[in-house]
Structure 1
Amino acid sequence: MRVGLITGGTSGIGLSFARALARDGADLVLVARDKGRLVAVAAELTAAHGVRVEVLDADLADRADQAKVADRLRAGDVDILVNNAGFSLKTPLVGGDDDLADRAYEVMGRAPRVLAGAAAAVMRERGEGWIINVASVSALTRQDSYSALKAYALALTEVLALELTNTGVQVTAVLPGWTRTEFHARGGSGRKGVPRFLWLDADRVAEVALADARAGHVISIPSKRYKVAAAILQLLPNAAVRAVSRRIKGKAKTPVEGATP
């Protein structure tokens, strides 16, 4: 029986990963800050799919909690790690909220590195396992601090994938675009100026990401339209990418991925 550990697993894309793995018969370890919601989601998944769901309340902005989750990964039974936790980061680099920026770095920068490292050590020894890091198409742009953190997540994935070549451990970065989740519904933002056809379904994002990991892809972009956009961004010179980023930033003020911590 496989076991998947998902950070930010009670809402958004993280919950879609949890449901997809549970449908496939995997037991789960769900990590999030809200203990009550963790228990409710665990009960829902167990009732629907008959899988065992362990809950681990942790704030990934706290290094002690990061260590707690890393220790859980070192227990050795987790086959699939999904680093999904994240949140909107609108503060500017100049004159912005340093405390918020530091929290974002811990959740979307340091925590994925620490957890991936803990999981990778066990998986490499065992000779199998998947590590999936939820990044964003915005990793290919230069819009804001969020883009910078997601660019780090993408680079981290590619470096780790290289390190783990021929070990049996698959490492995949998921680069969704704007994704419909309760993240946007709660905030009421991020919709103005974004055409309807650019929005993705969270369940579809998770399904494609898992299929791509199974197929051995290091980068998963879960729609043809965003595959095209990503290919164009990667071909453009840096100055053109910055120009495109300014235009995108002017049309939408929120990040292009809906995961929550």
Structure 2
Amino acid sequence: MTSRPVALVTGATAGIGREFATQLAQRGHDLVLVARDRARLEGVAAELRTTYAAESEVLVADLSDRLALQAVADRLGDADRPVDVLVNNAGFALRRSFLRNEVADEEAALDVFVRAVLVLSHAAGRAMRGRGRGRIINVSSVAGFLASGSYSAAKAWVTAFSEGLAAELEGSGVTVTALCPGFTHTEIQERAGLSKRGPDFMWLDPADLVADCLRDVDKGRVVSVPGLQYKAIVGLLDITPRPLIRKAGQISRRRSRRR
């Protein structure tokens, strides 16, 4: 059995998830890599092994599928192969607004963004609490502080859920952190056919974002907002009346309909 700590990362083949896998490997972790594409998973595993001497277990799973999700939960709960860090990162973008999407697509997004986070956090939280140590990182979004469709609602749930779980696990040796990034340079926009939004200074680099988050995790922070620009925005949103926040979400949805 390996003596190295183990991190399980969902959505590990690209963007923020891949960056988490890379930086955790740099920190001396072995990995359990979860995503839908076996070839890409094996490519990331080979790269981490060559570059950082990190061993990686590959788990092919579509987290909108309940049987596949349960297989990942079972891995987290395996007492003989403990997982020290869980990164709930998997996700995808929906191109259109809520009523313009098919309900099946909305349900799949809800399963990945909400149900998977709940199920995997439950499995990891119980196992980690029993061992008296562990870290859970749930990738949320600054969008969760807004009111802009089902994605915003799902991310609001992730942040609130993480805060509640952190309180439940306080003093147990297990910490929970909700990562709330803003616009980030990843391939998710390209896959969804979304154009780049906002000025360049609003876009975050995944490497910097993950490094900031891991520093916050080390400090035990429950909510991590990377980037001074987004810290300022979240601070402003805290004191902004909800009618104005809803108005901003309405404007954002109108722009989405034009694309």
TM-score (norm 2): 0.93
Q: Does 1:220 align with 2:192?
A: no
Of 85, 105, 117, the residue aligned with 1:112 is 117
In the other structure, the counterpart of 1:195 is 199
Three-state SS of the structure 1 residue aligned to 2:176 is: strand
Task: Deviation per CA, 1:11-58: give whole Å up to 9, x if none.
Answer: 010000000001111000000000111111100110000011110000
| CA–CA distance in structure 2, aligned partners of residues 185 and 243 of structure 1 | 27
| CA–CA distance in structure 1, aligned partners of residues 176 and 99 of structure 2 | 34
Q: Does 1:9 align with 2:12?
A: yes
| CA–CA distance in structure 1, aligned partners of residues 181 and 100 of structure 2 | 29
Q: Does 1:169 align with 2:171?
A: no
1:217-256 correspondence runs (5 A): 217-251=221-255
Per the TM alignment, residue 252 of structure 1 is displaced from its structure 2 partner at its CA by 6.1
1:116-127 correspondence runs (5 A): 116-127=121-132
Task: Deviation per CA, 1:78-116: give whole Å up to 9, x if none.
Answer: 000000000112443335311001100111110010000
Q: Does 1:34 align with 2:37?
A: yes
| Native 8 Å contact 1:158 1:218 kept in 2 | yes
Percent identity among equivalent residues?
44
Question: Which shows bigger deviation, 212-221 or 85-94?
Answer: 85-94
In the other structure, the counterpart of 1:257 is none
* Structure 2 runs not aligned, ≥5 long: none
Structure possessing the higher relative contact order (Cα contacts under 8 Å, 6 or more residues apart): 1
In the other structure, the counterpart of 1:156 is 161
Of 16, 19, 29, the residue aligned with 2:22 is 19
Per the TM alignment, residue 165 of structure 1 is displaced from its structure 2 partner at its CA by 1.1
| CA–CA distance in structure 1, aligned partners of residues 112 and 252 of structure 2 | 24
In the other structure, the counterpart of 1:259 is none
| Native 8 Å contact 2:34 2:59 kept in 1 | yes
Per the TM alignment, residue 181 of structure 1 is displaced from its structure 2 partner at its CA by 1.0
Per the TM alignment, residue 236 of structure 1 is displaced from its structure 2 partner at its CA by 1.0
| Native 8 Å contact 2:97 2:253 kept in 1 | no
| Native 8 Å contact 1:90 1:144 kept in 2 | no
Q: Does 1:211 align with 2:215?
A: yes
In the other structure, the counterpart of 2:55 is 52
| Native 8 Å contact 2:95 2:192 kept in 1 | no
Aligned length: 252
| CA–CA distance in structure 2, aligned partners of residues 152 and 204 of structure 1 | 25
Task: Deviation per CA, 1:196-251: give whole Å up to 9, x if none.
Answer: 00000011111111110110100000111100001111211111111222234445
| CA–CA distance in structure 2, aligned partners of residues 185 and 98 of structure 1 | 22
RMSD across aligned positions (CA): 1.4
* Structure 1 runs not aligned, ≥5 long: 254-261
TM-score (norm 1): 0.93
| Native 8 Å contact 2:31 2:57 kept in 1 | yes
Write the letter of the residue equivalent to 1:242: R
| Native 8 Å contact 1:7 1:30 kept in 2 | yes
Per the TM alignment, residue 62 of structure 1 is displaced from its structure 2 partner at its CA by 0.2
| CA–CA distance in structure 2, aligned partners of residues 190 and 176 of structure 1 | 18
| Native 8 Å contact 2:95 2:193 kept in 1 | no
| Native 8 Å contact 2:63 2:111 kept in 1 | yes
